[in-house]
Structure 1
């Protein structure tokens, strides 16, 4: 299946039910390829691609329409480079806010926790590691073997205050990190904007150690 060539070919922001986010590692840069997934679980065309030098990665990530990075389509950017609690804004190609996210550092001491905001629906959700047991094991591993990548997979669920699931991210067991992101239908019949979900999924990988 051919890759999409530009933003005009992008799916509607709230029409995507599933994404695959694939990490590609090199010595100097981090790369993330975002693919839509069809109803049968097949991986569709590339719909966004991010590449950043590792030293700059934690402050801003720009997603492009293709791997040549010719057309920027959305970005997440830290509100402050000095205050790690300030969070990140997700904006479209025109600089208009799509949503935001931030890590809850105190709550993350025992179980990683994030807040996710989608202002167009007045929606806020809390994302936590699905397994408290795995969260503890990962932390022990990181303390004892800081420089060795953890073999433990972590999954996240994002829910509103009333328990509505708005997004889930499952890390597969694979040689390269692959995340299966699901965006269920919300009570009003819509879904979370896939651009916000893709940004959050990449942040869960790129910023998780912070």
Structure 2
């Protein structure tokens, strides 16, 4: 992968991790877990909570489930906007980057824009046929209400070089679980983790 020589690696780089979702009555909880070289799960990197029924979407990531230390977060700029820009902040409130959903393109194939220092990327569902099938299923009068674990993946590529920036692959499990790889060292882990969680938390918005 050819990277601009003037752009150094991000402050926090994690080349691979897992995202695991736990659904409760009032909040969705996500565990961000490091991926060991052998593919097994490593240490807990962050714990996130998404409160439901918020006018302005916000998800906060903590060091662990005790929620004593805030690590980073993302928050929508607009209220109830499916294509709202979301800013990712570090623990001190500084902006690390942003992402947004391309509403028009997503009518056929879910598309996201991801921005970071030195990086502009576009992410799309890998398989157009699965994207179409998911939309048809939702509109069917009976079976649309039946939960089906469609396995869909997202590939984010640099808009300048075409190189892969980030990949999120959904695993075949009952609960949502994703394998995320970040081959581009310019992409900060906190921004990658926020984007990975948003792909699940905001995908149906």
- In the superposition, the TM-score normalised over structure 2's length comes to 0.89
Distance 1:57 1:177 in 2: 24
Distance 1:47 1:57 in 2: 28
Q: Does the 8 Å CA contact 1:34/1:49 hold for their aligned counterparts?
A: yes
Give 2:94's aligned residue.
96
Q: How many residues align?
A: 193
What is the Cα-based RMSD across aligned positions, in Å? 1.6
Which structure 2 segments of 5+ residues have no match?
1-9
Pick aligned residue for 1:157 from 152, 155, 158 = 155
Displacement, 1:54? Answer: 1.7
Pick aligned residue for 1:194 from 179, 189, 197 = 189
CA-to-partner distance for each residue in 1:16-72, whole Å, 9 max, x for gaps?
110100000112211000011121212111110012322239610000001011111
Displacement, 1:152? Answer: 1.2
Secondary structure (helix, strand or coil) at the match of 2:134 reads helix
Pick aligned residue for 2:133 from 130, 134, 137 = 137
Give 2:61's aligned residue.
63
Give 1:48's aligned residue.
46
Q: Does the 8 Å CA contact 2:112/2:123 hold for their aligned counterparts?
A: yes
Give 1:26's aligned residue.
24
Distance 1:37 1:206 in 2: 21
Displacement, 1:142? Answer: 1.0
Distance 1:178 1:32 in 2: 9
Q: Does the 8 Å CA contact 1:58/1:206 hold for their aligned counterparts?
A: no
Secondary structure (helix, strand or coil) at the match of 2:18 reads strand
Q: Does the 8 Å CA contact 1:13/1:195 hold for their aligned counterparts?
A: no
Give 1:173's aligned residue.
172
Distance 2:53 2:34 in 1: 29
